[in-house]
Amino acid sequence: MKRFATFWWDFVVGDDWRVAVGIVVAFGLTALLAATSIPAWWVLPLAVAAVLWLSLRRVVRPPDRNEPT
């Protein structure tokens, strides 16, 4: 059962869980804005750019600032 859960976690979430969390938050924000009269189409592209950059930055930070793996 644990291996089954691990497989699905790796399959869907992958190396960086923060990306998945960021996407979920961005979808929530998009849905909230879309329910108002404010245009919401720009939220997801900007969120994707931000989430991707932050995830990449975590990999290329100097070693002393990386979290232990």
Partner 1 sequence: MGLTRGWRPALVGAGAATVALAAIVAALGPALTVIPIEVLRLVVGALLLVFGLQWLRKAILRASGWRAIRDENAVFARERAEAASAPRVEHAGLDWYAFTISFKGVLLEGLEVAFIVLTFGSTQGSIPLAALGAGAAVVLVVATGLVVREPLSRVPENTLAFAVGVMLTTFGIFWGAEGAGVDWPGGDASLPGVLAFVLLISLGFVTALRRRRLAIA
Applying CB under 8 A, the residues found at the interface with partner 1 are: 12-16, 19-20, 23-24, 27, 30-31, 34-35, 39-41, 43-45, 48-49, 51-53, 55-56, 59-60
Strand positions, DSSP E, 1-66? none
Which tokens is 35 given?
């329910």
What angle (nearest 5°) sits at the alpha carbon of residue 51, between those of residues 7 and 8? 10
* Closer residue to partner 1 (CB): 1 or 41: 41
47: Cβ–Cβ under 8 A, 6 or more apart, which residues?
22, 23, 25, 26, 29, 30
Cβ 55 to partner 1 shortest distance, Å:
6
Cβ 67 to partner 1 shortest distance, Å:
17
Cβ 65 to partner 1 shortest distance, Å:
13
